[in-house]
Amino acid sequence: MIALSACAAGGLLWVTNREPEPHGPHTAIDRTDAAAPRSIAGPPQFGNEPVPLPADFGGDYGRSARTISADEARAHFAIGAELLNLGDYYTAASHLAIARDGLGDQAAVCQMLAITYDRLNMASDLLDVMPCLEDAADESEAAARLYNRLAKQLDVEVEFQAAASDHFVASFPVSGTSSEEIGPVLDLLERARDRVRRDLGLGSMRLVPVVVYGHGQFEAATDKPHWVSGLYDGKIRMSIETYRNQPDFFETALTHEYVHALTHEYTGTRLPSWFREGLADGLARNGADRAIHYQPHPEVGRILGIDELNSSFMGLPEHLARAAYRQSHAMALGLVRESGWDALHDLILDLHDDRALSFDEAFYGLFGETPADYLDRWYTTTR
Ligand SMILES: [Zn+2]
């Protein structure tokens, strides 16, 4: 069982991926250490409303001893899947674990449980579900990709501990990265959240998980191209090396990934790449300048077609990826120039309030034109 404990008396929340060792040096950071990261006072705050911890929090989480019918288990599975989709991982874990009790180790149940446990940093529970995921990997390519990704990350993150601030929970290596460094990283995250909230008027409502890797670990755990220095895949992943060597760039990259966490929480996967990346880049770089006099990236020398901006930029060669971020920034913030931040705030909030609404529908409802028409105008005036 993962050592995820809520101390009622002190109101502190410390999370570690390791088994608790009563007198071990690394099970938790010394709470009296002045240099230690800030801790949570009271239950974790998600937005303005304090969310009570589930009753079985820290116990044998979500597993039910009673026997349930297959129909009941399938109902729990459906609810768990929906909650996972909505990002309510705590409740999803509970329903999916009951579904697993009733249905056994079925591939779909194990895949969803693995994603949920990963997002919740519940490493021991994740390890428990990995053999089932490995079996599922033989049958499904999606399960195989998930298994390979999680196995690689577990390998790197097995000796990690965690600390939380008001809105973030950061995992970092027990050795090689000190709490003296994680405290400032958590401060940067809180500052990024404040800054984004000032422009966009929205802040993350749930505790955002962040993994800060030690030397060489980011590359080992993520397998991303060499030019990628941070990413968001349900967790923000960054390297402490970037913080040490390029602190300003680290803050920009951290803010970019935070915007992904925020928009994912509000809109799921409904934002097109040009808007998702453009908004993240624009908010992280603090300005709409490029939207006014957009010049193509010098190494590319041309404006990219929208078909080149329609999927993940990580699949592009480095120089094209840089151009893609820069151009998306100009496109997304062109909307701010025309309609102000309020319009982008409303767009994201509309997508949050109506989960069935598509990006195109929400966009048309607010701007009175389709995204395709807006982009046509953008291309016409920019060429
Ligand atoms: Zn991005």
Average pLDDT over residues 340-346: 95
> How far apart are the CA of 276 and the centre of ligand 1, in A?
7
Q: How far is CA 358 from CA 73, 108, 253, 371, in A?
A: 31, 26, 28, 11
> How far apart are the CA of 336 and the centre of ligand 1, in A?
19
> How far apart are the CA of 135 and the centre of ligand 1, in A?
32
Those residues with Cβ within 8 angstroms of residue 143's Cβ, 6 or more apart along the chain or in another chain: 107, 110, 111, 133, 136, 137
> How far apart are the CA of 212 and the centre of ligand 1, in A?
17
Q: How confident is the model at residue 9 (pLDDT cuts 50, 70, 90)?
A: very low
Tokens of 206: 């749930």
Tokens of 120: 């919740």
Model confidence at 46: pLDDT above 50: no
Give the torsion through C-alpha atoms of 54, 56, 60, 63, to 10 deg.
-70
Whole-structure pTM value: 0.78
For residue 24, the 8-state DSSP code is -
Model confidence at 252: pLDDT above 80: yes
Q: How confident is the model at residue 179 (pLDDT cuts 50, 70, 90)?
A: confident
> How far apart are the CA of 60 and the centre of ligand 1, in A?
36
> How far apart are the CA of 352 and the centre of ligand 1, in A?
20
Those residues with Cβ within 8 angstroms of residue 375's Cβ, 6 or more apart along the chain or in another chain: 274, 306, 331
Q: How confident is the model at residue 176 (pLDDT cuts 50, 70, 90)?
A: confident
Contact call for residues 134 and 110 (beta carbons, < 8 A): no
CATH number of 62-155: 1.25.40.10
Alpha carbon 104 to its chain centroid, in Å, reads: 29
Tokens of 230: 């941070």
* Residue range(s) in the chain whose domain bears CATH number 3.40.30: 1-48+159-267
> How far apart are the CA of 255 and the centre of ligand 1, in A?
10
Helix (H) or strand (E) holding 209: strand 208-213
> How far apart are the CA of 264 and the centre of ligand 1, in A?
12
> How far apart are the CA of 285 and the centre of ligand 1, in A?
12
* Residue range(s) in the chain whose domain bears CATH number 1.25.40.10: 62-155
> How far apart are the CA of 277 and the centre of ligand 1, in A?
5
> How far apart are the CA of 257 and the centre of ligand 1, in A?
6
CA distance 276 to 255: 13
Question: Pairing between strand 230-232 and 160-164?
Answer: unpaired
Q: Which residue type does 181 have?
A: E
Helix (H) or strand (E) holding 66: none
> How far apart are the CA of 87 and the centre of ligand 1, in A?
19
What CATH class does 1-48+159-267 carry? alpha beta
Q: How confident is the model at residue 26 (pLDDT cuts 50, 70, 90)?
A: very low
Q: How far is CA 120 from CA 88, 93, 353, in A?
A: 10, 9, 24
Average pLDDT over residues 267-280: 94
> How far apart are the CA of 50 and the centre of ligand 1, in A?
30
Tokens of 237: 């992943």
- The pLDDT, as a whole number, for residue 310 is 84
Q: How confident is the model at residue 293 (pLDDT cuts 50, 70, 90)?
A: low
Tokens of 342: 């309020």
Tokens of 105: 């180790």
> How far apart are the CA of 107 and the centre of ligand 1, in A?
30
Instruction: Kindly report which listed range (96-110, 116-130, 185-199, 278-292) carries the lowest average pLDDT score.
Output: 278-292
Q: How far is CA 112 from CA 1, 59, 382, in A?
A: 18, 21, 44
Question: Pairing between strand 230-232 and 208-213?
Answer: unpaired
